[in-house]
Amino acid sequence: MRLGRVASPDGVAFVSIEGDGSDSVAKEIAEHPFGTPTFTGRSWPLADVRLLAPILASKVVCIGKNYAAHAAEMGGPAPADPVIFLKPNTAIVGPNAPIILPPSSSQVDYEGELAIVIGRPCKDVPAARALDVVLGYTAANDVTARDQQRHDGQWTRGKGYDTFCPLGPWIETSLDPSDLEIVTELDGEVRQRSRTSLLLHDIPKLIEWITTVMTLLPGDVILTGTPEGVGPMREGQQVSVTVEGIGTLTNPVAAKR
């Protein structure tokens, strides 16, 4: 099932997206998408609604340096254990929403990633049961003010600006995440291409590691790490992250006015 969140003529709603291309339809879900969704009976052609971020998380938990080649390009060894950090939920935006470049940064980078969406409250989840707590998967861009990340010696400011966590276009619930291609394009030029099979710490390990630290709630998002090839974006450009089996998340890049 493809779960999304849309602005329709009748307001904002969670939906199930059915069909492909111009024939796609958004069927309104009553209340929330967790568990077994129930439907209101209302639907709209997908072309008549605006896709929003597919989920509003209470927190976004991110994994740093989870591809060996990316760790190398950042000038350090691959970490033996997952490195976790947080983005605020106010950083989340949806497809086609602009990434706003803060005037205080001279280098804002794209980082295409696979994102996990949690489906139920969980703590201390063993890796063997980790996929049981997953609602589904979506594409993400862990936008980073790289100069500020280096200057500060920690990552909160450089990764925490509003609009620095695009998610979308929807959540795919029926997906094996173990070997998916991830491609990031800047103005149509491929800048990142890798596969989730190259993750240093796989998804069950990440969920186990994170939930030893904190409780995850329905809708929480885990960004699993970015491959090599990260680089800067500039005003007027467009960045797209495509995850095999999910779709493409595209956002324009704009300066703050």
**pLDDT tens-place string over residues 31-78:** 999 999 999 999 999 999 999 999 999 999 999 999 888 878 877 788
Looking at residue 135, what is its pLDDT?
Answer: 98
Using pLDDT thresholds of 50, 70 and 90, give the confidence band for residue 257.
Answer: confident
Which spans in the chain are helix H? Answer: 68-73, 146-152, 156-159, 203-211
Mean pLDDT within 116-144: 98
Mean pLDDT for the stretch of residues 124-147? 98
Residue 181 has pLDDT above 90, yes or no: yes
Calculate ∠ Cα 180-184-186, nearest 5°: 165
What is the separation, in whole angstroms, between the first and last Cα of the chain? 39
Per-residue pLDDT at 21? 82
* Alpha carbons 242 and 257: distance in angstroms, whole number: 29
d(CA 146, CA 232): 9
Q: CB 27: neighbour CB atoms within 10 A? A: 17
pLDDT at 10: 87
Band (pLDDT 50/70/90 cuts) for residue 237 is very high
Q: What percent of the chain has pLDDT over 70?
A: 100
Task: From residue 141, give the alpha-carbon distance in Å to each of 10, 66, 167, 168, 248.
Answer: 29, 15, 7, 9, 11
Convert the pLDDT of each residue in 72-109 to its tens digit: 887 778 888 999 999 999 999 999 999 999 999 999 99
pLDDT at 192: 97
